Structure 1
Amino acid sequence: MTAAEFVTAIRAITPNESELSMMPEGFAQIYLGELHIGDKKGHRITESNDAVIDLINNYDVSKLTIMIFSFVKSDDLRETDRFIYFGWREAFPLAILKATGEIVEIDWADDERIMSYIATDQQSYLDLLFALQENNLSTLFSETQKWDMEHLVNITGDSKYQPHLMDLLS
């Protein structure tokens, strides 16, 4: 999924406030605030396979939180010899492993140590976030998950990424 496709898809499935009226007071505003994707003026050209970098550079995703995943502001993108740091999985930094293009979770205490492998590439990562948000909405409204583990593993690109998915679906 490209950055533009991701933005369009998330906006399309985001419920409106009235659909969340059965939730406790204040829930809708918090929930919808975490799904906010703002537009930025201008457009930075990025490589077609750099979907996450394109998303951060060309949209305001500083408030976007899908489950436990969030993004940094474009000014806070950080690059080292091995990684491009772009977001968070709770307190753990997320990065693109430059050697392979994989999305990885980094140890917050050792910024060179990979804790887990998240997705095979940036496009798969955005596909995964979208599927997780679909699951989140499905459980919110019907208490059943839309996607199972096998589907999410297929999205991430390989069973290598399954261990980190298990705790997201439990």
Structure 2
Amino acid sequence: MTASEFVTAIKAITPNECAFSMMPEGFAQIYLEELFIGNNKAHTIIKQNDAVIDLVCNYDVSKLTIMIFRFNKSDELKETERFIFFGWREAFPLAILKETGEVVEMDWADDERIMSYIAKDQQTFLDLLFALEENSLSGIISKKNKWDIEHLISVAGGVKYKENVMELFIAYKKGE
């Protein structure tokens, strides 16, 4: 999924406040605020395969939170010899491993140590975030997941990313 496809897809599945009528007061506003994606005034041309970098540079995703994932502002991108840091998974930095293009979770205390592999590339990471958000909304509104664990593992890129996806799925199920 490209950055623009991701933005369009997230906006398309974002419900209005009345969809949350069974939730506690204030829940809808908080949830919907975390799905906010704005347009940046300036547009930077980014290579098509760099979907996450395109998203961070060309859209305001500073409020966007999907499950436990969030993004940096464009001026907060950090590049090292091996990685491009672009966001967070809770307290752990998210990065693109330049050598393979994979999205990885880094150790917060050691920016050279990979904690887990999240997705096979940037486009797949956006696919995974979208699928996770679909699951979240489906669980909130209809009390039923849209996707099963096997589908989410496939979206992430296969068995190499299974541990991370299972951890996300289990954490989500506990929060229901």
Q: TM-score, normalised by structure 2?
A: 0.95
| 1:110 and 2:126 aligned | no
Report Cα offsets for 1:75-102 as digits up to 9, x if no partner: 0000000100000000000000000000
**Structure 2 counterpart of 1:51:** 51
**2:12 & 2:161 partners in 1: Cα distance?**
27
**2:166 & 2:79 partners in 1: Cα distance?**
29
**Structure 1 counterpart of 2:61:** 61
CA RMSD of aligned residues (A): 0.7
- Residue identity (%): 71
**2:153 & 2:167 partners in 1: Cα distance?**
13
| 1:167 and 2:167 aligned | yes
Matched length: 170
Q: Name the SS of the counterpart of 2:130 in structure 1.
A: helix
**2:21 & 2:98 partners in 1: Cα distance?**
44
Structure 1 segments of 4+ aligned residues over 6 angstroms from their partners: none
Report Cα offsets for 1:68-124 as digits up to 9, x if no partner: 000000000000001000000000000000000000000001110000000000000
Per-residue deviation, 1:42: 2.6
**Structure 1 counterpart of 2:142:** 142
Q: Which amino acid aligns with 2:142?
A: S
Are the counterparts in 1 of residues 19 and 141 from structure 2 also a CA contact under 8 Å? Answer: no
Q: Name the SS of the counterpart of 1:130 in structure 2.
A: helix
Per-residue deviation, 1:17: 1.1
Are the counterparts in 1 of residues 78 and 84 from structure 2 also a CA contact under 8 Å? Answer: yes
Per-residue deviation, 1:59: 0.3
Report Cα offsets for 1:16-38 as digits up to 9, x if no partner: 11211221111111000000001
**Structure 2 counterpart of 1:151:** 151
Q: Name the SS of the counterpart of 1:35 in structure 2.
A: coil
Q: TM-score, normalised by structure 1?
A: 0.98
**1:163 & 1:32 partners in 2: Cα distance?**
29
**Structure 2 counterpart of 1:78:** 78
**Structure 2 counterpart of 1:129:** 129
Report Cα offsets for 1:15-68 as digits up to 9, x if no partner: 111211221111111000000001111311000100000000000000000000
